[in-house]
Structure 1
């Protein structure tokens, strides 16, 4: 999960076959969400309900097979690109890109260290 400026805020490691929408509530649980922007892969009424119950707004487009379609503002949906950019930055670190670690704990620690470097760069380049 990233904040409105782009650096990662929360990390959670799941199994490769697990869906992202099953753990989204765990990531959002500790932080009070105001605006949640996600892609179609997170389309779940349970997640939308969770965000609205916490006092936030969910900006998640519905999948094409759904009868009732939700509209999402194009400029706001473009903010989802921040998450994709963080993944690209994390893949610049060889250890996180190639998954050389055999244990989940050490891989998560490597991702946390790479995220820390991303935060440091963001702080240094801030005006």
Structure 2
């Protein structure tokens, strides 16, 4: 699991470890024992976070306009495809 500094707590790190995962969460500056995260992993987390921010620009997604799960997933798929097409057309 990769998370931001805001989720830096030993309780969360232990929770992930107890379930067989590995937590990659950088520590806050006030913590005595510092944990580091590989920059490449942290960069990937940032890409995912920016994608979700772009999804929230679609009103239908942000307000959960579709109440049925199938319709909501279809709206997510359409919005994701539109974001992907915009990214592909701007890439040389």
- Relative contact order (alpha carbons < 8 A, sep ≥ 6): 1 or 2 greater? 1
Select the structure that is richer in helix.
2
Q: How many residues align?
A: 80
TM-score by length of 2: 0.65
- Check 1:74–1:62 CA distance in 2 against 1; reply closer, same or farther (3 A cut): same
Select the structure that is richer in strand.
1
- RMSD in angstroms over aligned alpha carbons? 3.0
Give CA-to-partner distance per residue, 1:11-48, whole Å, 9 cap, x none: xxxxxxxxxxxxxxxxxxxxxxxxx1111011111110
What is the Cα deviation at residue 107 of structure 1?
5.9
Conserved? CA contact 2:60–2:66, under 8 Å: no
1:70 aligns with 2:31: no
Give structure 1 stretches of 5+ with no counterpart.
1-35, 100-105
Distance (Å, rounded) in 2 between the aligned partners of 1:118 and 1:78: 23
Structure 2 match to 1:56? 21
Distance (Å, rounded) in 1 between the aligned partners of 2:31 and 2:65: 37
- Check 1:88–1:48 CA distance in 2 against 1; reply closer, same or farther (3 A cut): same
TM-score by length of 1: 0.50
Task: Pick the aligned partner of 2:4 from 39, 47, 56.
Answer: 39
Structure whose CA Rg is larger = 2
What is the Cα deviation at residue 75 of structure 1?
1.0
Runs of 4+ off more than 4 Å: 106-110
